[in-house]
Amino acid sequence: MNRVCVILVNWKTWQDTAECIESLLRADAPGMQIVVVENDSPDDSWEKLNAWARGEVTVEIPADNKLRHLSTPPASKPLQFATGNAGDTQGIQTEAPLVLIRSDKNLGFAGGNNVGLRYMLQHGFDYAWLLNNDTVIEPDAVQALIRHQQSHGDHTGITGSKLRLYHKPEVLQGLGAVFNPKKGTSRIIGAQQEDHGQFDQEAEQITYAIGAAMFVNRKFLEEVGLMSEDYFLYNEENDWSARASRKGWTVGVAADSVVYHKQGASTGNSPKKSKWAIQALRYKYRGKILLYKKYYRKYLPYLYIHLLRRSLRYILRGNLREAGVIYQAILNT
């Protein structure tokens, strides 16, 4: 039996996390344990997650939700679960299907996931699935990932899932990305297209898996290492995949592993830029420059040209704050 550790990072979105856990509990995946890293949310997320697991609060899914069947009816409560601290993951000894780990500071996307990855390595799991907490999954999604890893050779590193949009379940978010260092851009395979399986074969040509769902094995982690915490948010998956490629590991997608993603629930990724969304842009552009300096240094001039062109587009649209974020990233990185 393959032991799989599913890692969710929660930040201010405990209801999404609870819905995701419900869908995972319905998965065809014996030997799976769900690990939630509560990333020091500035609200009552930790208390709410514990209360939800005890059956004291509920999360209602609207009756007209097209994906309601993936998380309802809810699992019987109270759930068997354990709690622990991010500073002592080795001390968490449990066979419970759910583990809640509390961090005393916001470690960012990579740092939060790395807490779960350390737990996975310390407790003898074969695989880790880094899954965004604002997702729900098809019941066979985990087994499809295991099949892909086992059928694609010993150096299969990161395997992504087919991501569809939660609010438009027939439409793709994408099946991974093809990165072009000369343009400084990524082409998301199948993005915003209705899914008829037409992109399934093309997904094997990706440069990196989309960070919302990344499946890795133990040997990969031991040889390539954990995610880089240089970024805090954005570009981590591109960094991880670039490092994997340099060490001879491949990146691919299990097209029959289907995940539905709400996209942007934690980052404030919306057309109207909130204060947090502007901060997210700072992480995005700063991280892109860091990525180039680590893996694509000879292409840095192309990146700067791309960023300056984008800043001009922001200015022409009257988005001066967004343009300023780019200039700050160039000057301060």
pLDDT tens track for 162-196: 999 999 999 999 999 999 999 888 999 999 999 99
Query: Three-class SS of residue 252?
Result: strand
In CATH terms, the fold of domain 4-261 is: Spore Coat Polysaccharide Biosynthesis Protein SpsA; Chain A (3.90.550)
User: What pairing do the DSSP bridges indicate for beta strands 127-131 and 213-217?
Assistant: antiparallel
Specify which residues 47 forms β-bridges with.
none
The residues spanned by each domain of the chain are 4-261, 275-332
Least confident of 16-30, 132-146, 268-282: 268-282
Residue type, 49: L
Cα 14 from chain centroid (whole Å):
16
Average pLDDT, the chain: 94
Q: What is the pTM of this model?
A: 0.93
For residue 158, the model assigns a pLDDT of 97
What is the token pair recorded at 288?
């892109």
CA 189 to chain centre: 17
Q: What is the mean pLDDT of residues 226-240?
A: 94
Rounded mean pLDDT of 139-151?
A: 97
Q: Note the pLDDT tens digit of each residue in 70-87.
A: 999 999 999 999 999 999
Cα–Cα dist 135/325, whole Å: 29
Report yes or no: 206 and 175 within 8 Å, Cβ to Cβ.
yes
Contacts with 69 (C-beta within 8 Å, 6 or more apart), sequence order = none
Distance CA 184, CA 292 (A): 9
Helix ranges (DSSP H) in the chain: 14-25, 45-54, 108-122, 141-151, 218-224, 236-246, 275-295, 300-316, 320-332
Q: What pLDDT does residue 153 have?
A: 87
pLDDT given at position 159: 97
- Structure tokens that stand for 299 in this block: 């292409």
The pLDDT of residue 271 is 38
Judged against a pLDDT cut of 60, whether residue 265 lies above it is answered with no
Sequence-distant (≥ 6) Cβ neighbours of residue 47 within 8 angstroms = none
321: nearest Cα among 272, 270, 269 = 272
What pLDDT is stored for residue 274 in this prediction? 59
Q: What is the DSSP string of 135-181?
A: EEE-TTHHHHHHHHHHHS-TTEEEEEEEEEETTEEEEEEES-EEEET
pLDDT digits (tens, 9 = 90+) for 322-333: 999 999 999 987
When pLDDT is cut at 50, 70 and 90, the band that residue 268 belongs to is very low
Mean pLDDT over residues 309-331, rounded? 94
Measured from the Cβ of residue 164, the count of other Cβ atoms closer than 10 Å reads 24
CA distance 11 to 85: 16
The residues, ordered by sequence, that sit 6+ positions from 98 with a Cβ below 8 Å of its Cβ are: 21, 33, 34, 36, 53, 79, 80, 81, 82
Q: H or E element: which one contains 296? A: none
Q: What is the pLDDT of residue 276?
A: 64
Tell me what percent of the residues of the chain surpass a pLDDT of 70: 96
Q: CB count, 10 Å around CB of 147?
A: 15
